[in-house]
Structure 1
Amino acid sequence: MIRGIRGATTVEANQPDEILNETAKLVLEIAKENTLQPEDIVSVLISTTPDINTAFPAKAVRTLEGWQYVPTMCMHEMNVPGALPLCIRVLMHVNSDVNQKDVQHVYLNGAVVLRPDLVK
């Protein structure tokens, strides 16, 4: 069965190294919290707020050891007034037998305000 796992993080600045590092941390934390291997992952969709444009976050995923064959795609979020700035969101589709209520969604840095009900 395919499950969707959500996550988000923020960066301090629109800098390539920070975007790539924080994306990698987020994706690895989602995998760790859900006991996933790259082979379990169907695809990863990554969106950024429009104020992030100096690097493709998908590059961070493709460069992780064992993740080079995981289909990954980037896009921008809607530009909604008052939205959390400098935010990177992830939707990971995975093969899993875990019940939907037991999926561990991961929110890091300033993104914890997006879903406080899901933050440990």
Structure 2
Amino acid sequence: MVVRGIRGATTVENNDADEILTATIDLLSEIVKNNDTDPKDIASVFITVTGDLTATFPARAIRNMEGWELVPLMCSVEIQVENSLAKCIRLMVMVNTTKEQHEIHHAYLNGATILRPDLLK
């Protein structure tokens, strides 16, 4: 078994706590579904948001999901880069798995699909 990183990103329309929390749950749920993983196999989740999202911590959403109470979570602010995608939430889910790197499925939702067009199905 090895630790693999599963990447994901999504965007929200507004700097609104409920919208941020819902988008975070949607993104994490997509990652879990696409990779057939379970919270007990998650080593940690690193979360970043762009500087324009200040209404809440996205980790709040994950902490309230059943089975995710013990998963280590950390939030940070994404570095500011000119003309970068606004109102973006990014996840790096570190999972203990027997899967090979090419078997990992990353998830990019909403406006974040422009970040990795090569991964679009």
TM-score band, normalised by the shorter chain? over 0.9
Give the deviation of 1:118 after TM superposition: 1.2
Measure, in 2, the Cα distance between the counterparts of 1:13 and 1:45: 22
Map 1:46-65 to 2 at 5 A.
46-65=47-66
Measure, in 2, the Cα distance between the counterparts of 1:73 and 1:64: 15
Counting matched residue pairs gives 120
Measure, in 1, the Cα distance between the counterparts of 2:73 and 2:25: 13
1:52-72 superposed Cα distances (whole Å, 9 cap, x missing partner):
011000011100011111101
Say yes or no: does 1:89 pair with 2:70.
Answer: no
Give the deviation of 1:119 after TM superposition: 2.1
TM-score by length of structure 1 reads 0.98
Give the deviation of 1:101 after TM superposition: 1.1
Measure, in 2, the Cα distance between the counterparts of 1:66 and 1:97: 21
Map 1:11-50 to 2 at 5 A.
11-50=12-51
In structure 2, the residue matched to 1:10 is: 11
TM-score by length of structure 2 reads 0.98
Q: 4+ residue runs of structure 1 moved beyond 3 angstroms?
A: none
Partner SS, residue 118 of structure 2 = coil
Partner SS, residue 9 of structure 2 = strand
Unaligned 5+ residue runs, structure 2? none
Measure, in 1, the Cα distance between the counterparts of 2:9 and 2:72: 18
Measure, in 2, the Cα distance between the counterparts of 1:93 and 1:12: 27
